Structure 1
Amino acid sequence: MNNQLINDLNNARIIGQNVLANSLKRGLTNFASEADAAAAQDFALARAPDNLYSNGKTS
């Protein structure tokens, strides 16, 4: 194979790896955001009874 073809194949491989890496990073970031939001909601719901009692509201 000539050098230009080898360079083109290497460049295509690098681009493909970057696409996969970016997709993985985006997916993990979205997963972490959703997990954080769910955890915050669970924490707020768990604390709700305590907040009601500390505010003097019982019903």
Structure 2
Amino acid sequence: MWKLLVGFFAFAALAMFILMKSGGDIDMSGEKHDVAGHAAEPAASQAAPAASAPASAASM
């Protein structure tokens, strides 16, 4: 039984080390309920179709 626990903690430590060294954005502080973070997403998604419309009109 103790071997399973040691193996689990060794694997978890190795996974955390690899994830942190890979440059990923890892935040171990839990869930974020930030209203300002969600407000920027719809504006960016609405701007993308508007920017692609002139490109498609120019190709005709």
Same fold (TM over 0.5): no
TM-score normalized by structure 1?
Answer: 0.38
In our comparison, the structure showing a higher alpha carbon Rg is 1
Tell me which protein shows more helix as a share of its residues: 1
